[in-house]
Amino acid sequence: MMLTQPEKHAKELRELLAKYSYEYHVLDNPSVSNDIWDSLLAELKRIEFEHPELITIDSPTQRVGSELLGGFQKVTHKSRMLSLNDVFDRADVEAWVKRMDNLLPGRQHEYFTDIKMDGLACALIYQDGLFIQAITRGDGFVGEDVTENVRTIKNVPLRLIDTDGFDEFLLGRTEVRGEIVMLRKDFEKLNKKRVAAGEPVFANPRNLAAGTIRQLDPQLVAERPLHFRAYDLIRDNVLDLPTNIFTYEVLSALGFTRNQQASVFNNLDGVVKFVDNWDEKRHDLPFNTDGLVIKVNDRAQFTKLGVVGKQPRAAVAYKYAPEQATTMVRDIVISIGRTGAATPVAVFDPVVVAGTTVRHASLHNADEIERLDIRIGDTVVIFKAGDIIPQVQSVVLELRPKNAELFNFGKALSNQYPELQFDRSEGEVVYRVVGVTSDLLLKRGLEHFASKGALDIDTLGEKNVVALVDAGLVNDLADIYSITFGQLLKLDRFAETSAKKLVTAITEKKSPLLERFVYGLGIRHVGIQTATDLINRFNSLDDLSEATIEQLQDIDGIGNVVAESIIAWFADPDNEALIEKFNSLGVKPVYVKKDGRLSGMNFVITGTIQTMSRDQAADDIRALGGTFQTAVAKDTTYLVVGEKAGASKIKKAKEYGINIINEQQLIEMIKG
Ligand code: IVH
């Protein structure tokens, strides 16, 4: 006995599978497992195999058809597929609204906004609820018939859902327009597989989606998961769809995926808020976007406003600042991070990417330099997604100058850090300074920061530094400013008086002289004199952090090695974060403008002076624009001779014809 009639059973299976498919691919909320789906599909296939006359065009077994011989047929669109004019800021949006107001004075303002997907436009035709054809945009008038390929897209309904209140859309012709995209997660998965198979990776989801839809073999298309998002619906009777927001409700009711974020606003402020809100959040969307779409919500007004060229007057595309830009690599410098790891950093001609100026980007390690095949002099593509740190995407090989040099990591290390030794262990991609740990580097760094010549923090000497770092109270230089009295008391080394003393000493140094602070940061090759020269030229940490190699080399006494070291330090994201941390803890170094009385004069002190410390004298000289040198050189202007002066310095000074003065004369020069 037959339990069910095959025709009835096949119909039930098709309906059930369509429901499950909708739940899975459109609602993202499946009610059954894949195994159940597979076994029901196998059952349907079996019936269809035994009764081929029962196969229907909307059967899920028909999603993947056979290869198209002879290419795609051209099809004329029933109504033209338009594109949109771009706008870039609020002023552009206001100008657009004004143009519409002039044409339709007294119009009610209502705007419909949605996210603009970066894929390819496609029109799907349904007749009496059944999917019959898919046409690419083509030139807007004539597109190509890609029905068989679109049929493989799992969230495209093969039959429209019959929802109460929307039955009219299941009668006659319904055209649904939307964007075919590849979701980022699917794109990444596919590329991973290609890497594993040793095949070249695809450039981006948009190109891959566009390339896929033009494949002649639907089998291959089915292996590349495409996704359809509807944004428009066209009916012969325009009265079926009074507004764009209602159109979106209909799209959902008929079983399409559409952006849930679409909104309606009755004023421009609302639109601008939507724009700002999505500026950052759009990176969290599952697909790539290239902006937003803003339309007049009322469709009768939309039509009335008409079309100019290829674009409707009643809609615009709001484009966000580009997230890619090209620039030239001027140098590759190496930064030594907190752990002693040597990180190569590309230095560029400054370029604006996604609204901020980019001057450098980490190249991560020697392998990455090799992978990108990046050389000094190359033009590169920089990209930045949202808040993410800028990265080099690729090299524009066509623009490579003939003399572009291969980067030699080992050579660059010994040029920039001749005093250090580096080691790259087996299987590691990173070069590290030999003989240091991050703890040791931090201890040395903090000792230097607190030392007399730098911030001069009382009682923060070697032993206390070791205690603070070992106790885990300090993980970077800025952390000392958040240490509390209570925390110190818990350590063996501290009693009430000593703890209080240290906290007070640290708090007192929240506004250090800028040059001492820059020196204290421990940038390689930046002694106090260089720090002073730097801040005399740049006056603020912000400006110094943005200095170019050329600007740095323009300063007397700063050559390539020092300039590269400064650039490398500021290019390290950890250091950027450190500066921000200082700032948020209320550490505000002060720049004191020098009166310049001693500018151009170079001083050396030999022996001990009585009335002030050597550091104080050096500070005073620098504060007046002079330079404090540690050894007599040809360009020394004055040798100050104190008690127990060194004979060799005096002899050298005489040889060079340098002025020799005593402590009193120096004090008079300082006092002026
Ligand atoms: S509405 C008159 N909404 O962007 C065209 N388009 O440059 C009205 N696009 O051709 C289109 N996401 O391919 C609209 N949410 C969206 C969209 C969207 C992507 C594409 C579409 C259109 C192009 C306009």
Residue 363 Cα to chain centre, angstroms: 14
Residues labelled as active-site residues: 116
* Reported confidence tier of residue 38, pLDDT bands at 50, 70, 90: confident
* Class at the top of the CATH hierarchy for domain 602-671: alpha beta
Closest CA to 572 of 321, 374, 361: 361
Cα–Cα distance, 333 to 523 (Å, whole number)? 14
293-324 pLDDT, tens digit per residue, is 999 999 999 999 999 989 999 999 998 877 78
- From ligand 1's centre to the CA of 652, what distance in Å? 79
**Which of 206-215, 264-273, 518-527 is predicted least confidently?**
206-215
Report how far apart, in Å, the C-alpha atoms of 521 and of each of 378, 533, 589, 650 are.
32, 15, 12, 34
Q: Note the pLDDT of residue 1.
A: 40
Q: Are 308 and 124 in contact (CB under 8 A)?
A: no
For a ligand 1 pocket test, name from 179, 258, 264 the mutation site with the most ligand atoms within 8 angstroms of its C-beta.
179
- From ligand 1's centre to the CA of 349, what distance in Å? 35
Q: Are 219 and 64 in contact (CB under 8 A)?
A: yes
Closest CA to 211 of 182, 231, 250, 245: 182
* 263-265 and 120-127 strand pairing: unpaired
Q: Could you give the 3-state DSSP secondary structure of residue 41?
A: helix
Question: In one letter, which amino acid is 301?
Answer: Q
- From ligand 1's centre to the CA of 161, what distance in Å? 24
Closest CA to 453 of 203, 660, 622, 242: 622
151-164 pLDDT, tens digit per residue, is 999 999 999 999 99
121 CA: nearest ligand 1 atom: 13
**Domain-wise residue ranges, the chain:** 6-62, 74-319, 324-433, 439-584, 602-671
For residue 376, the 8-state DSSP code is B
For the domain covering 324-433, report its CATH number: 2.40.50.140
Nearest CA to ligand 1 atom 9: 116
- Which residues contact ligand 1 via a Cβ below 6 A? 82-84, 114-117, 121, 179, 231-232, 293, 312, 315, 317
For the domain covering 439-584, report its CATH number: 1.10.150.20
98-113: average pLDDT: 90
Tally helices (H) and strands (E) across the chain: 25, 24
User: 580 is written with which tokens?
Assistant: 């921000």
Instruction: Tell me the β-bridge partners of 351.
Output: 358
Nearest CA to ligand 1 atom 21: 121
* Reported confidence tier of residue 387, pLDDT bands at 50, 70, 90: low
For the domain covering 6-62, report its CATH number: 1.10.287.610
Nearest CA to ligand 1 atom 23: 83
Residue carrying structure tokens 């300063």: 555
Q: Is the confidence at residue 386, as pLDDT, over 60?
A: no
- From ligand 1's centre to the CA of 589, what distance in Å? 51
For the domain covering 74-319, report its CATH number: 3.30.470.30
Cα–Cα distance, 182 to 188 (Å, whole number)? 10
The angle at the Cα of 319, spanning 317 to 321, to the nearest 5 degrees, equals 175
Side-chain-side CA neighbours of 302 within 13 Å: the count stands at 20
Q: Is the confidence at residue 2, as pLDDT, over 60?
A: no
Q: Which of 18-32, 164-178, 423-437 has the highest mean pLDDT?
A: 164-178
List, in sequence order, the alpha helices (H) in 364-458. Answer: 366-372, 409-416, 438-450
**Which of 370-374, 470-474, 619-623 is predicted least confidently?**
619-623
Residues 6 or more apart whose CB falls under 8 angstroms from that of 616 comprise none
Side-chain-side CA neighbours of 459 within 13 Å: the count stands at 17
The secondary structure element, H or E, covering residue 143 is: strand 142-144
* Reported confidence tier of residue 244, pLDDT bands at 50, 70, 90: very high
* Reported confidence tier of residue 265, pLDDT bands at 50, 70, 90: very high
Q: Note the pLDDT of residue 606.
A: 93
Asked whether the domain spanning 439-584 has the same topology as the one spanning 6-62, the reply is no
Q: Are 372 and 392 in contact (CB under 8 A)?
A: yes
Closest CA to 467 of 480, 454, 455: 480
Nearest CA to ligand 1 atom 12: 116
The residue among 582 and 2 whose pLDDT is bigger is: 582
For residue 317, the 8-state DSSP code is E
262 CA: nearest ligand 1 atom: 15
Cα–Cα distance, 113 to 277 (Å, whole number)? 12
Nearest CA to ligand 1 atom 2: 82
Task: Provide the percentage of residues in the chain whose pLDDT is more than 90.
Answer: 69
- From ligand 1's centre to the CA of 293, what distance in Å? 7
Q: Are 626 and 601 in contact (CB under 8 A)?
A: yes
User: 133 is written with which tokens?
Assistant: 């054809």
pTM as predicted: 0.58
